[in-house]
Amino acid sequence: MASCFLTVLRRLPVLLLALALGVCALAQTPQPQELKDYQAAVALKDPAAKLKELERIKAAYPPSALATSLDGQILTVRTAQAGTLDEILVLQQQHLLATKGIQVVASLGNYTVQILDHPKAASFDKAKVLAAAKAYREQARKAAVDPAVVAAVPEQNREYLAMLANELELSVAKGQLAAGESAPALASLEAYLKGGGNPSAAYQLVRADILEALNRPKDAYEALLAAAVENNQAGLRRARAAYAKLNGKEDGFDALVEARSKELPFHPAPVKPGPAWKGKAVLAELFTGSECPPCVAADFAFDGLLEAYPATALVVLEYHLPIPGPDPMMNPATKLRQDYYGINSTPSMLFDGQDKITGGGGRGAAASSYKRVSAKVQERLEGAPGVALKLKAVRKGDLVSAALVLGKAPEGVDFHLVLVQAQQDHKGGNKLMVHKMVVRDLVTLAATATAHTFDVAASEKATDTYLTDFEQTSTRFKGFTFPVRRSAISRQGLKVVLFAQEKASKRVLQAVIADVE
């Protein structure tokens, strides 16, 4: 969950809530000089100089948009300088007294990491470390249900409180392993999963350590391979060594990791609409970015939707945005829909133009993300289509011609037609290699329309121009140049989507999809 926070923090400060929610957001804007000073302070190598500068910034800019980040950085430096576990515990308790809301739960998790990963951790009393981890776990569980804490968190995000508290099970497992309690450590990992925890790279590395301690090398290798697939460097290194030990050579390891990376990390059961289904197809829209680490879980969740639901019951569209970094698959259509909904963070998901949800994570969070989005689809399948739509599409050369029938709709309804690429290979900053249902072009039709033709070459040119304009005019990414452009559109695997959407409420009445023949 911290991946987006760490990525974005190199460019700008992010509220701790963004860390908790697994969201990549557009810039929060503190005072420019404060931000510049903060970034310079964080980059300092000398701990004493860093601490002095952080404290100067905190005093110079009250109230500060960076207060949470400043306090966290100060605690980190002071903790690293501490020589004993008792000193660390005192510092953490002082910090906790000044912490409120969801930050309490997140901070308790950080405290355990600071102890377990401390440079002098090997000299700490293992029983005392484990006791501290368990105590922080209990405090986090209580804080997650504390009415004052819950009230301070938006209702749609309160589920993350329990998820944050559950993360401390990993720290308890690490503490138990260090104390020689391997079997209880494995039980803590099982409790973590039962509590809704994600089998992330961090989880897999802890699991591998425990399984090695229990003399289960093959099971430990599988855990390391799972971490490697998430592009975790420690996991890659250790999995490669384990692979070579088990197979007598390294040949084939890289191909195995690449193949596993493309696989859906969970297995959704096929979904068939029930006997009460009235023919409604839900439109699920995902705003994502190839530079957004938390978008990995959301992308895989939507891949799961495509695998589980028939196209007659579910239509998926995915828009690529430059959040937190430029995305070579973005285009005028994705910008148009971003502005239409007012999207400023990724991943963001809407269902029939309603029920916006945010938050994601890495590959390990994909299964839990799928449960969330699938539940939203199920809720909307029960409705009746608000308008009848028919669609067929064929391609001749660069021209994709759609024949359509627009049923009678209430006043104030727009009909949108979308050109979609079923699959685009691209490895961005979040290491996801395959992107599905990529929106390439979009038009709004007249209510009397019976046909429309997309000129694919013209769509490519418009996208290329858009990317060039972005390079030349972006104020957030001055001087940026795309190392690779994904403006080219494959003539194979194209689809066309038609949907009807109310202007005022943005509610989608019906959607249909057709393969381009």
Question: Which structural domain, as residue segments, surrounds residue 36?
Answer: 3-196
Nearest to 106 by CA among 174, 164, 148, 145: 164
Last residue of a domain, one of 141, 173, 196: 196
176 and 300 co-located in one domain: no
**The two three-digit tokens of residue 172, written as one number:** 């308890």
Question: How is the beta sheet containing 508-515 ordered, strand by strand?
Answer: 354-358, 348-351, 282-288, 314-320, 434-445, 413-425, 494-502, 508-515
Which CATH number do you get for residue 388?
Answer: 2.60.40.10
Last residue of a domain, one of 181, 196, 211: 196
Would you place residue 6 in the very low, low, confident or very high pLDDT band (cuts 50, 70, 90)?
Answer: very low
The pLDDT of residue 282 is above 60: yes
pLDDT above 70 covers what percent of the chain? Answer: 94
Comparison of pLDDT for 289 and 63, the residue scoring more: 289
pLDDT in tens, 396-430: 999 999 999 999 998 999 999 999 999 999 999 99
Residue 450 resides in a domain:
yes
Q: How far is CA 277 from CA 57, 330, 384, 443, 492, in A?
A: 60, 35, 8, 29, 32
**pLDDT at 281 (0 to 100):** 97
**The two three-digit tokens of residue 42, written as one number:** 């964080």
**pLDDT at 15 (0 to 100):** 34
Residue 362 resides in a domain:
yes
The pLDDT of residue 13 is above 60: no
The pLDDT of residue 483 is above 60: yes
User: For residues 287 and 321, what is the distance between their CA atoms, to the nearest angstrom?
Assistant: 7
329 and 453 co-located in one domain: yes
Residue 277 resides in a domain:
no
Nearest to 159 by CA among 363, 375, 404, 372: 372
**pLDDT at 29 (0 to 100):** 61
**pLDDT at 14 (0 to 100):** 32
Residue 274 resides in a domain:
no
467 and 492 co-located in one domain: yes
pLDDT in tens, 238-266: 999 999 999 999 999 999 999 999 999 99
253 and 295 co-located in one domain: no
Would you place residue 198 in the very low, low, confident or very high pLDDT band (cuts 50, 70, 90)?
Answer: confident
| 177-188 mean pLDDT | 97
37 and 49 co-located in one domain: yes
**pLDDT at 103 (0 to 100):** 87
38 and 149 co-located in one domain: yes
Rounded to two decimals, the pTM is 0.79
The pLDDT of residue 10 is above 70: no
First to last CA, the chain: 42
pLDDT above 90 covers what percent of the chain? Answer: 82
**pLDDT at 100 (0 to 100):** 84
Mean residue pLDDT of the chain comes to 91
Would you place residue 4 in the very low, low, confident or very high pLDDT band (cuts 50, 70, 90)?
Answer: very low
Buried b (16+ CB within 10 A) or exposed e, 261-298: beebbbebeebebeeeeeebbbbbbbbbbbbbbbbbbb
Comparison of pLDDT for 163 and 341, the residue scoring more: 341
What is the count of structural domains for the chain? 3
Comparison of pLDDT for 500 and 1, the residue scoring more: 500
248 and 377 co-located in one domain: no
DSSP category for residue 276: T
The pLDDT of residue 25 is above 70: no
pLDDT in tens, 121-139: 999 999 999 999 999 999 9
Nearest to 355 by CA among 335, 329, 381, 330: 381
166 and 216 co-located in one domain: no
Least confident of 15-19, 42-46, 97-101: 15-19
**pLDDT at 309 (0 to 100):** 97
Residue 14, judged by CB atoms within 10 A of its CB (0-12, 13-18, 19+), counts as: buried
The pLDDT of residue 491 is above 80: yes
CB 497 within 8 A of CB 513: yes
The pLDDT of residue 335 is above 60: yes
